[in-house]
């Protein structure tokens, strides 16, 4: 694996006024080309039953540049525009493979402003990065160093809703290699009272980043509501709200990185639950707390870090009744209300609800590795509906 893993290194940078103008134009052109190509592909299929691929949209881009209406597309680098068409092709590939829904049009206000440059559109020399159509290199704040002797293969420049500029350098990282094999295994149960509960008995607290900044967020949102739509003051207020959200997101990401890195380094096998987070956030009483906990982001980090370092992540079926199953004797309790945090089984074992669930998740995951079959035990009620596991979810104040 060493030398084969491509890793993105993200840094913040501060563009000059001319660079900011050029990048903003590029973002707009990328969005315009993406929307035009999406419209052309959609119309070709719905009206004529034709499939338009990347090569056809690339030819359309050349024709668009020759028109008077879209001549401005030729004023920016062509590479980010071509990359936008490739991203659209990938989006359609994911849609046809049923991994994602149909591609949507990009919005100027809601979509992420970004542009991707390949090697032909940037110059990397002596640790400085200069993009196409720019005379001076970017003023990047190097918070960490890139791998020695490795040049980036792709550069992605973006601007978030808070007005911050970032550059992401995709490089092959030879330092990423499988860790020594260990016998340690762990089961992980997620929740809101505690962010993670491990089968070892360790409970990782939930920092509740959103709650810490809730007063500041409410104040900023109220100020935004009082501003007239379309005014400059409303745009300034919107940026203030975005900065609060960015502050919370940065804290959450940093915390999850530290936790997941430690878990992957210390354990050979990690067993988690295959939760349908997108369905769970449909509960308006819990959506804010679930989103703040970052369960989906935590799982994604565990999975890609496990691939990097030669670990294994096993997902146990979401219907597995881990909270109601005794981890000592295997007896299944008929009911387990959410307010019950500890209970005594008929075998005499006193069980902590969350630790017991983590141990059951671990046992189910190890059974998958031994038997090679999925784990989906469930009970049916007289009405034929399955009884789902009750998670440690409490209503947020």
Known catalytic residues are 189, 273, 354
CA quadruple 64, 66, 69, 72: dihedral sign: positive
Q: How far apart are the first and last CA of the chain?
A: 47
Other CB atoms closer than 10 Å to residue 94's CB: what's the count?
14
CA 391 to CA 393: how far, in whole Å?
A: 5
Side-chain half-sphere CA neighbours of 31 within 13 A? 17
CA 209 to CA 214: how far, in whole Å?
A: 9
What the block records as the tokens of 298 is 């935590």
CA 282 to CA 217: how far, in whole Å?
A: 22
CA 152 to CA 136: how far, in whole Å?
A: 18
Q: Strands, DSSP E only, in 133-184?
A: 140-141, 154-159, 165-172
Biggest alpha carbon–alpha carbon distance for the chain: 82
Q: Which helix H or strand E contains 368, and what residues bound it?
A: helix 353-371
How far, in whole angstroms, is CA 36 from its chain's centroid?
Answer: 27
Residue 255's SS3 state is helix
Q: Which of 290, 297, 287 lies closest to 259 in space, CA to CA?
A: 297
Q: Which of 241, 270, 69, 253 lies closest to 179 in space, CA to CA?
A: 270
CA 117 to CA 81: how far, in whole Å?
A: 9
What the block records as the tokens of 265 is 């380094």
User: Beta partners for 8?
Assistant: 170
Q: Which of 267, 14, 51 lies closest to 164 in space, CA to CA?
A: 14
């Amino acid at each position: 694996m060493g030398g084969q893993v491509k890793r993105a290194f993200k840094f913040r940078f501060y563009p000059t006024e001319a660079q900011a103008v050029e990048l903003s134009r590029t973002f707009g052109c990328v969005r315009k080309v993406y929307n035009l190509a999406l419209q052309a592909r959609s119309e070709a299929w719905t009206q004529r039953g034709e499939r338009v691929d990347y090569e056809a949209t690339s030819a359309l881009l050349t024709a668009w540049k020759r028109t008077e209406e879209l001549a401005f597309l030729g004023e920016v680098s062509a590479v980010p525009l071509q990359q936008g068409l490739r991203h659209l092709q990938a989006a359609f590939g994911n849609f046809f493979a049923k991994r994602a829904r149909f591609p949507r049009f990009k919005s100027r206000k809601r979509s992420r402003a970004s542009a991707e440059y390949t090697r032909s559109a940037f110059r990397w020399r002596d640790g400085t990065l200069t993009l196409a159509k720019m005379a001076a290199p970017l003023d990047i704040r190097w918070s960490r160093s890139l791998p020695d002797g490795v040049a980036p293969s792709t550069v992605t420049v973006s601007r978030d809703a808070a007005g911050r500029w970032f550059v992401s350098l995709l490089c092959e990282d030879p330092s990423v290699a499988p860790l020594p094999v260990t016998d340690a295994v762990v089961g992980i149960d997620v929740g809101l009272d505690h962010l993670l509960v491990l089968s070892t008995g360790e409970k990782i607290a939930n920092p509740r980043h959103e709650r810490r900044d809730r007063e500041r967020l409410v104040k900023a949102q109220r100020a935004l509501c009082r501003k007239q739509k379309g005014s400059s003051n409303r745009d300034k207020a919107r940026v203030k709200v975005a900065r609060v959200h960015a502050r919370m997101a940065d804290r959450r990401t940093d915390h999850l990185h530290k936790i997941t890195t430690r878990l992957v380094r210390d354990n050979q096998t990690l067993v988690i639950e295959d939760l349908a987070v997108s369905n769970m956030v449909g509960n308006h009483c819990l959506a804010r707390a679930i989103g703040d906990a970052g369960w989906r982001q935590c799982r994604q980090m565990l999975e890609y870090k496990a691939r990097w370092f030669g670990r294994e992540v096993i997902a146990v079926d979401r219907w597995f009744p881990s909270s109601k199953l005794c981890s000592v004797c295997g007896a299944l309790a008929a009911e387990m209300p959410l307010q019950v945090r500890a209970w005594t089984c008929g075998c005499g074992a006193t069980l902590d609800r969350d630790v017991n669930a983590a141990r059951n998740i671990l046992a189910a995951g190890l059974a998958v590795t031994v038997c090679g079959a999925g784990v989906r035990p469930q009970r049916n009620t007289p009405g034929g509906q399955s009884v789902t596991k009750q998670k440690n979810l409490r209503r947020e104040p």
